[in-house]
Amino acid sequence: MTPRLSMRALSVVALTLFASAPLAMLVVTSIARGWFYPSVVPSSVDGGAWAELFRDASHRTALLNSVVLAVSTALVGTALALPLGRAAALSTRGVRRSVALLAFTAVALPPVALGAGLQLSVLTLGLGGTVVGVFLAHLVPALGYLTLVFLGVFTRWDLRLEEAAATLGAGGLERWRHLMLPLLRRPITEALALGFLVSWAQVALTLLVGGGAVRTLPLDVLAMLQAGQDQRAAAGALALAIPALFVLGVSRVAAGNTPAVVA
Amino acid sequence: MFADVRRVFVFGAVCAAALVGGCSRAAPAAAAPDLAKLPWDSIVRRARGTTVIWRMWRGDPSVNAFVDRWVAPRVLAEYGVTLQAVSGQGSELVDQLTVETQSGAKVGTASLLWINGETFGALRSRQLLAGPWSGVLPAGALVDSASPIISRDFEQDPGGFESPYGTVQMALIHDSARTPQPPRTVDELTHWIRTHPGRFTYDQSFTGITFLKGVMYAQNGGVGTFAGGYDSTTYIAARTRLFAWLDSLKPYLWRKGTQYPADVAAMHRLFANREIDFSLSYNQNEAVTKALQGVLPATSRALVLRDGTLANAHFLGIPANAPNAAGAMIVANFLLSPAAQLEKQRPTVWADGTVLDLARLPAEWRERFDSIVNDPRLVSADTLRRYARPEVSPRYHERLTDDWRRMIR
């Protein structure tokens, strides 16, 4: 092996360890009962924390809430951000800049500051402490991110493709089905994944707008950590990581199958 | 191009309108003090088929399990009341109710709150609590109303605006295998800290400050010196002595007093992993419950300092904007029943102290309570009672927290 190759192998091993060690640690902590220094191995191993995670009705509700919120944020966020990003990108410079600025504000504001403002708006709508209220709150940063994504995509968009399709007699719906969607497959899957993750990992907004009444998995994990319940928190953290990794994986595979490349 | 933008905005506006229109705000429900004038039967009737949202601390899985899997099915079966516990504590409750009131909505979300001390004071002074109502609860007749720890909430008169449902007492946690002869007074503790450098600390949150407050009372003639409302002169003199003590101990504390654990959970981790030899808890039974959960070593035990340790009660309040005050009263009454108080006190359940006067209970219930309290792993009921001291004005706690952060940390 040449020194350069072994360097590369070493980096790959180091990177793999770096990425997987925290996950491995979580796996062990989630099944270790009464594992204290200086014991090298846990005094006993049990699946109690995992069983609890799925047996406890309030955890199940939290998991369900998290999934519903993340999926709807991804779908609605993408459905709104795509036309918004497109319209802004193809518009005048002024419009483009103001949309970009607004989108960036929603992303850049600290979640706590954003949450405090959203809390009052959502309460005024009479939606405080409801899943719909929390969904609207999650939609704000998600829409910010996704609008920036589509703004970028459509800034480099070649309108002539659409014009050519129209010249050949394709109607609006056909243009979308046969031209736009295939071309936009990669950005759309990425946007869906991003929208999912923005909502999935949200703590501050859920807490402020949900007022404690809307439980999500990240809130449960945080509460368990604060209570010193490390075994349960580790199980919860893994339950939190797995769907996120799954969504990322699926979006990679889906994006990899893109037939054509835009810009 | 603009057509697209316009379409998006129209769509958004339609969505928003649908949401606002679709949410019908419930008509204001009967207020707690009005209900309290009715016979109990009539409150029971009104509560049937309703839902109570209880905003409480949700950080402990054993407390959650007691509420979700023991209390909730029973109030549903016996009274037809659906109990839903949600998260929220302390200043969060005050903020939440303030924002709800400011938003102009007549009815809030929660009907029941877990409160005490400064939260009670803050809610009461802002007129966010309903009352008086607790006098109407039939189970209230069994409450140990002679106890200064239950009849007063940090020296405040509950005044019927909150109903007690549990008691806790400050304790040190030690490992009986590691420290078989633990210190039992503040003086002994001081000596122990000096002879075991780096093995003691306290957390910088509520429990740690309560520990310091207990030391401050012990150093200044007991809690009686501080009774009768906040007195700045008394406080400054006491604080000076306490901080001199802390300064003298600083080099012997964990990490030489340059860092303090963020909260009790962090301190439990340090204790369990042998970085320090004591943890703290504002629940005399937590050493045993946490050992049963595998969070602390199996040989963990509690001890109360003989200079006196602070004890307090936790209460249930009903917000002024509660959507279901009748249902909340049913739950508050159920939690005072001997069966609920007994279950709550089991070390395998929650180990929360009872607020009932055991002498007023029928003999068979008394025996059941005794069988729990006499668990050899727990601090005996006599010891607890002998060294329990009531909390005084919450202002002392607030001042000490601020000054500790400013001058010691």
- CA nearest neighbour of B66 among B349, B399, B363, B280: B349
Instruction: State yes or no: pLDDT of A105 exceeds 50.
Output: yes
CA distance A143 to A114: 14
Mean pLDDT of A224-234: 88
In this structure, the answer to whether residues A135 and A204 fall within a common structural domain is yes
Are B161 and B190 in the same domain?
no
pLDDT band at A259 (very low <50, low <70, confident <90, very high): low
Q: Shortest CB distance from B61 goes to which of A124, A125, A232?
A: A232
Band of pLDDT at residue A2, cut at 50, 70 and 90: low
- 3-state SS, chain A, equals CCHHHHHHHHHHHHHHHHHHHHHHHHHHHHHEECCCCCCCCCCEECCHHHHHHHHCHHHHHHHHHHHHHHHHHHHHHHHHHHHHHHHHHCCCHHHHHHHHHHHHHHHHCCHHHHHHHHHHHHHHCCCCCCHHHHHHHHHHHHHHHHHHHHHHHHHCCCHHHHHHHHHCCCCHHHHHHHHHHHHHHHHHHHHHHHHHHHHHCCCHHHHHHHCCCCCCHHHHHHHHHHCCCHHHHHHHHHHHHHHHHHHHHHHHHHHHCCCCCCC
Beta bridge partners of B171: B281
Across residues B10-30, what is the average pLDDT? 44
Mutate to test the interface with A, among B20, B101, B103 (most CBs of A within 10 A): B103
Query: What is Dmax (Cα atoms) for chain A?
Result: 76
Task: Find where tokens 């394709």 sit.
Answer: A170
Q: Are residues B358 and B403 in the same domain?
A: no
Looking at the fold, whether A221 and A103 belong to one and the same domain comes out as yes
Which pLDDT score, from 0 to 100, does residue A55 have? 82
Q: At what angle are helices B206-219 and B186-195 packed, to 10 degrees?
A: 120
In a domain, B325, yes or no: yes
B104 contacts in chain A (CB < 8 Å): 124
In chain B, the number of structural domains is 2
pLDDT at position B123 over 90: yes
Residue A248 lies in a domain: yes
User: Of the candidates B260, B256, B274, B156, which has an alpha carbon nearest to the alpha carbon of residue B211?
Assistant: B260
Q: pLDDT digit string (tens) for B223-262?
A: 999 999 999 999 999 999 999 999 999 999 999 999 999 9
b or e along B107-121 (b: 16 or more beta carbons within 10 Å of the residue's beta carbon)?
bbbbbbbbbbbbbbb
The CATH number of the domain where A158 resides is what? 1.10.3720.10
**How many whole angstroms separate alpha carbon B166 and alpha carbon B341?**
8
Quote the domain boundaries for residue B186. Answer: 171-303+388-407
Predicted TM-score (pTM) of this structure: 0.83
The dihedral built from the CA positions of residue A93, A95, A101 and A106, taken in this order, carries a sign that is negative
- Does one domain contain both A105 and A26? no
**How far is A204 from A211, CA to CA, in rounded Å?**
10
Output the pLDDT for position B9: 42
What's the count of helices (H) and strands (E) in chain B, helices before strands?
A: 18, 9
User: What long-range pairs does A48-51 form, CB within 8 A, spacing at least 24?
Assistant: A48/A231, A49/A231, A49/A232, A49/A234, A49/A235, A50/A235
Answer yes or no: do B282 and B175 share one domain: yes
B58 and B108 inside one domain:
yes
- Looking at the fold, whether B198 and B101 belong to one and the same domain comes out as no
For residue B11, being part of any structural domain is answered with no
Cβ–Cβ under 8 Å, residues A159 and A226? no
* Contact yes or no for B92 and A126 at CB 8 A: no
Could you tell me if residue B60 is inside a domain?
Answer: yes
Instruction: Collect all residues of chain A within an 8 Å Cβ-Cβ radius of residue B272.
Output: 36
pLDDT surpasses 80 at B12: no
Three-state DSSP string of B248-300: HHHHHCHHHHCCCCCCHHHHHHHHHCCCCCEEEECCCCHHHHHHHCCCCCCCE
A residues 36-95 lying closer than 8 A (beta carbon) to B:
36-38, 44, 52, 56-58, 80, 83-84, 86-88, 90-91, 95
Residues, chain A: 263
Residue A177 lies in a domain: yes
Residue pair A111/A202 in contact (Cβ under 8 Å)? The answer is yes
User: What is the pLDDT, as a whole number, of residue A43?
Assistant: 82
- First CA to last CA across chain A, in angstroms? 40
**What are the pLDDT digits (tens) for B56-82?**
988 777 898 899 999 999 999 999 999
The per-residue pLDDT for B104 is: 81
Cβ contact B87–A126 (<8 Å): no
pLDDT computed for residue B201 by the predictor = 97
Asked, for residue B346, whether it belongs to a domain, the answer is yes
Which CATH number covers residue B102? Answer: 3.40.190.10
The alpha helices in B336-380, defined as continuous H runs, are: 338-345, 363-373
Q: Is B225 exposed, middle or buried (0-12, 13-18, 19+ CB in 10 A)?
A: middle
Burial degree of A250 (CB within 10 A; 0-12, 13-18, 19+): middle
Model confidence at B174: pLDDT above 90: yes
Q: Is the pLDDT of residue B304 over 60?
A: yes
Residue A263 covered by a domain: no
Residues of B in contact with A229 (CB under 8 A): 60-61, 293, 295
A84/B5 Cβ within 8 A: yes
Residue of B19, B68, B70 for testing the chain A interface, max A β-carbons within 10 Å: B19
Pair (B399, B371) in one structural domain: no
Considering only CB atoms, A36 lies closest to which of B60, B88, B272, namely B272
The pLDDT-based confidence of B25 (bands split at 50, 70, 90) is: very low
Q: Give A262's pLDDT tier (boundaries 50, 70, 90).
A: very low
Query: Are residue A188 and residue A82 in the same domain, yes or no?
Result: yes
Task: Tell me the percentage of chain A whose pLDDT exceeds 90.
Answer: 43
Range of the domain at A38: 1-46
- Better pLDDT: B91 or B315: B315
Contact B264, A228 (CB under 8 A): yes
One domain, residues A106 and A191: yes
Task: Examine residue A261 and state whether it is found in any structural domain, yes or no.
Answer: no
pLDDT value for B379 = 92
Instruction: Give the β-pairing of B388-390 and B309-317.
Output: parallel
**Phi, psi dihedral angles at B353 (to 5 degrees):** -65, 150
Q: In this structure, are A230 and A244 located in the same domain?
A: yes
Task: Give the whole-angstrom CA distance, residue A261 versus residue A189.
Answer: 14
Residues B299 and B317 grouped into a single domain: no
Position B12 in a domain: no
Which of B87, B293, B294 is closest, CB to CB, to A212? Answer: B87
Residues of B whose CB is below 8 A from A86: 4
Chain A residue whose CA is closest to B265: A228
Asked if pLDDT for residue B26 goes beyond 90, the answer is no
pLDDT tens digits along B366-409: 999 999 888 888 999 889 999 999 999 989 999 999 999 999 98
Quote the pLDDT of residue A250.
86
B167: exposed, middle or buried (Cβ count in 10 Å: 0-12, 13-18, 19+): buried
* Mean pLDDT on A142-168: 91
Condensed to tens digits (0 to 9), the pLDDT of residues A24-70 reads 999 999 999 888 988 888 888 888 889 888 887 778 889 999 999 99
Residues A3 and A82 reside in one and the same domain? no
pLDDT band at B109 (very low <50, low <70, confident <90, very high): confident
Quote the strand ranges of B99-161, DSSP E: 112-115
Assess contact for B85 and B73: CB atoms under 8 A.
no
Q: Tell me: do B128 and B218 sit in the same domain.
A: no
Higher-scoring residue by pLDDT: B245, B90: B245
For chain B, what is the mean pLDDT?
A: 90
Q: CB contacts < 8 Å between A and B, how many? A: 122
Residues of chain B with Cβ-Cβ distance to A223 below 8 Å are 58-59, 87
Q: Which pLDDT score is estimated for B214?
A: 96
**Residues A1 and A54 occupy one common structural domain:** no
Q: Mean pLDDT score of chain A, rounded to an integer? A: 88
B134 lies in the same domain as B180: no
* Residue B22 pLDDT class (50, 70, 90 cuts): very low
Q: Same domain, yes or no, for A74 and A155? A: yes
Nearest to B307 by CA among B388, B385, B238: B388
Neighboring chain B residues of A135 at a CB cutoff of 8 Å: none
Comparison of pLDDT for B61 and B302, the residue scoring more: B302
Provide mean pLDDT across the span A101-118: 87
Residues of A in contact with B99 (CB under 8 A): 119-120, 123, 128
Do B130 and B210 lie in a common domain? no
pLDDT tens, position by position, B275-285: 999 999 999 99
In a domain, A67, yes or no: yes
Q: Which chain A residue has its CA at the smallest distance from B57's CA?
A: A223
A19, A66: one domain: no
What does the CA dihedral B249, B255, B257, B260 come to, rounded to 10 degrees?
-130
Mutate to test the interface with A, among B55, B86, B102, B282 (most CBs of A within 10 A): B86
For residue B132, the model assigns a pLDDT of 96
DSSP state of B360: G
Mutate to test the interface with A, among B2, B4, B178 (most CBs of A within 10 A): B4
State the burial class of residue B190 (Cβ atoms within 10 Å of its Cβ: 0-12, 13-18, 19+).
middle
pLDDT of B149 over the 50 cut:
yes
Indicate whether B24 pLDDT > 60: no
pLDDT digits (tens, 9 = 90+) for B36-59: 999 999 999 999 999 999 999 887
Across the range A105-112, mean pLDDT stands at 86
pLDDT at A4: 77
B187 in the same domain as B73: no
Q: Quick one: which of B302, B285, B273 has its CA closest to B344?
A: B285
B103 contacts A124? CB cut-off 8 A = yes
How far apart, in whole angstroms, are the C-alpha atoms of residue B233 and residue B229?
Answer: 12
Per the CB < 8 A criterion, the answer to whether B27 and B323 are in contact is: no
Query: Is there a domain that residue B65 lies in?
Result: yes
A91 and A41 share one domain: no
Q: Does the structure show a pLDDT above 50 at B151?
A: yes
Q: Tell me how many domains chain A contains.
A: 2
Distance of CA A63 to CAs A11, A220, B191, Å?
Answer: 37, 9, 50
Domain co-membership, A42 together with A144: no
Residue B132 to residue B152: CA distance in whole angstroms: 15
B252 and B398 co-located in one domain: yes
Please check the confidence at residue A113 and state whether its pLDDT lies above 50.
Answer: yes
Per the structure block, which two tokens stand in for B146?
């002679």
- Pairing verdict, β B82-87 and B51-56: parallel
pLDDT level of residue A159 (50, 70, 90 thresholds):
confident
